Amino acid sequence: MENDVGPESIFNVSGLSEAMLCRMARETGFTQRSSGKISESDLLERFCDAAVKGTVSYNDLAGTMQVATGLSVSRQAYCDRMNTPGCVAFLKAVLAHIMLLKYPAHSFVRLQAAGRFRRILIQDSTIIQLPSRLFETFSGVKNAHTTTCHARIQGVYDLCAGQFVSFSIDPYSKNDLSVAADIQTLPGDLLLRDRGYLITDLVGDLKIKGVDTISRYKHATALYDPDTRQPIKLLERLTRDGSIDQVVLAGSKLNVRIRLLAVPVREEVANLRRMKAYKENKGHAPSEELLRLMSWSIFILTIEDPTLTVHDVLDIYGLRWRIENIFKTWKSNFSFGKMHNVSAHQLTLLLVARLIVISLSYRAFDRLHSEILSSRGRQLSLMKFMRFLSLNLPLLPTLLSPCLCSTQLLDALTRYCTYDKRKRRNFQDLTDSALASLSNLRAIA
């Protein structure tokens, strides 16, 4: 990011020319006239570079711009320019455009070819802590002693394309359940979500639209026997039979057919779940029934094909690790923990700018994963690569461009950013296992 806009610009390399950025700036109201001294592409590049390091100082931004472009503009001019509604709209438009760019083909497209699913969508959220002054805007936790402000970032990731299809920055009070119906799906999608998004009527609506779902069971979800239409006593059944694989009825009108799968887990896994439940309930003891049910992994899904076993479901659902690892890389490497006492407007600018850089970073990861796998026979680790990139951010334009990435740089990535040889499965191993499971589910005409 250290050069002027040109062949090595992060946006130019990604297919966003200076002319396109100027047009987007005018359409969003960020630019009022074409004769302004501050270039949109220069400003966007320097602001994104500063945003991933922490809170942006307009004095530092002015200095960086002058060194990079020779343009002498006051810090107040940058402050005025960035603190307009059009600035947020411009950054969001850039982010949306980047997420819609066609990604190069890589090994994940085998997931798409393996079965009947055009996309495998994973939805999850992560929480970031904010300055307490933003509590009225983003909410959080407040009691007589403390006030803690948080925001919730929702993400939907398409595993087949290796890219995010949407982001949102929401108040903490807007939980997963409240956004469950907002997801944009297409016929032929497979949706993997945690229990926090589970609404059985919505699962039925998605199935009618041609969207399959695999979700963890949420405690106290009402399930009924399809023959007797009587409630299923889940704990009683599992205690007696040990496992379950059957079609049941759910929904407010008992008109949603879903498949219920349950398999026992090791006792140490169950105990870890119980410890987590006590911690998350913050002093309120979970019910005895819930604690006992943690001895099983329980799923509900709309795929009734018996060739898909419970162990296949465990492998496929395990693909959700990808978005969990992605959120972990954000917090560890892209300054999501660095939120000083900024306004709500500045916070939105910072978060969107970081998401822009992160989206471009995943484009680079996607391309390099394929190249290193084919030429070196090694699998690139997402966690290691993002750590490397956060420490060498000026290399991002080079990593995005096949013609700029040298053999020396590829050697370094292969040595320091690929998986070690180990017995524990890495993400590619999990993907291969899921591929084997999905290959039995043939496309439906």
- What are the tens digits of pLDDT across the range 295-320? 999 999 999 988 888 888 888 888 88
Q: Which range is least confidently modeled, 135-144, 261-270, 330-339, 376-385?
A: 330-339
Asked if the model's pLDDT at residue 293 lies above 90, the reply is yes
Asked if the model's pLDDT at residue 287 lies above 70, the reply is yes
> Binning pLDDT at 50, 70 and 90, where does residue 34 land?
low
Pick the most confident of 305-309, 320-324, 437-441: 305-309
Residue 444: predicted pLDDT: 40
- For residues 245 and 429, the model is more confident at 245
- For residues 36 and 306, the model is more confident at 306
Say which residues have a Cβ less than 8 Å from residue 400's Cβ, sequence separation at least 6: 10, 13, 14, 360, 363, 364, 367
Centre a 10 Å sphere on the Cβ of residue 73 and count the other Cβ atoms it contains.
17
Please state the rounded mean pLDDT for residues 276-300: 89
> Binning pLDDT at 50, 70 and 90, where does residue 110 land?
low
Query: Can you tell me the distance from the alpha carbon of 359 to that of 99, in angstroms, rounded to the nearest whole number?
Result: 7
Nearest 5 degrees, angle CA 202-CA 207-CA 211? 105
Say which residues have a Cβ less than 8 Å from residue 304's Cβ, sequence separation at least 6: 247, 257, 259
Asked if the model's pLDDT at residue 205 lies above 90, the reply is yes
Residue 89: predicted pLDDT: 94
Threshold 0.75, pTM exceeds? yes
> Binning pLDDT at 50, 70 and 90, where does residue 259 land?
very high
Asked if the model's pLDDT at residue 334 lies above 60, the reply is yes
Asked if the model's pLDDT at residue 85 lies above 70, the reply is yes
Q: Tell me the pLDDT tens digit for each residue of 359-414.
A: 899 888 888 988 898 899 898 998 899 999 988 988 998 998 877 788 999 999 99
Please state the rounded mean pLDDT for residues 210-218: 96
Residues 82/349, Cβ–Cβ less than 8 Å: yes
Could you tell me if residue 254 is left (phi over 0), alpha (psi between -120 and 50 degrees) or otherwise beta? Answer: left
**Could you tell me the residue ranges of all domains in the chain?**
10-99, 209-308
